[in-house]
Amino acid sequence: MNEPDNGQTPVLAMPCRPEGRLTLRQFLRVVRDNTLATYPPEAFDEDIMARRLQWRRRFIINEPNAIRYVLLDNAANYTKSELSRRLLEPALGRGLLTSEGEIFRL
């Protein structure tokens, strides 16, 4: 069913995030249900955002050309650790978060 064009950009769905800083217990409960709900609101608005997760920097990338660069054009520079694969593969299988190289590009 087509919706009428009213000239407004649709609001995209986003997980509900608890207000304020999450305690460890709240974080574990929320991450179990929806990992995206643990991200701060600005993670959905900014093109590229750096975050610290324990001792490593992580990047949240929303800008389409930057996503193409990381996932396709320059994927060899963004490897997954063996530990990450061993932890994630049993639950997620061989997919975007666990694959590299030619398997990743399929």
Confidence of residue 65 (pLDDT cuts 50, 70, 90): very high
Residue 58 counted as domain residue: yes
Query: HSE of 69 in the Cβ direction (CA atoms, 13 Å)?
Result: 7
Helix (H, G, I), strand (E, B) or coil at 48: strand
Residues 73 and 94 in one domain: yes
72 versus 13: the higher-pLDDT residue is 72
Residues 80 and 102 in one domain: yes
pTM: 0.55
Please tell me the predicted confidence (pLDDT) of residue 53. 74
Please tell me the predicted confidence (pLDDT) of residue 23. 83
List CB contacts of 64: < 8 A, sequence separation 6 or more.
none
Residue-number span of the structural domain to which 53 is assigned: 19-62
Residues 52 and 68 in one domain: no
Residue 14 counted as domain residue: no
Most confident of 30-34, 53-57, 59-63, 100-104: 59-63
Domain count, the chain: 2
Residue 70 counted as domain residue: yes
Confidence of residue 102 (pLDDT cuts 50, 70, 90): low
Query: HSE of 16 in the Cβ direction (CA atoms, 13 Å)?
Result: 1
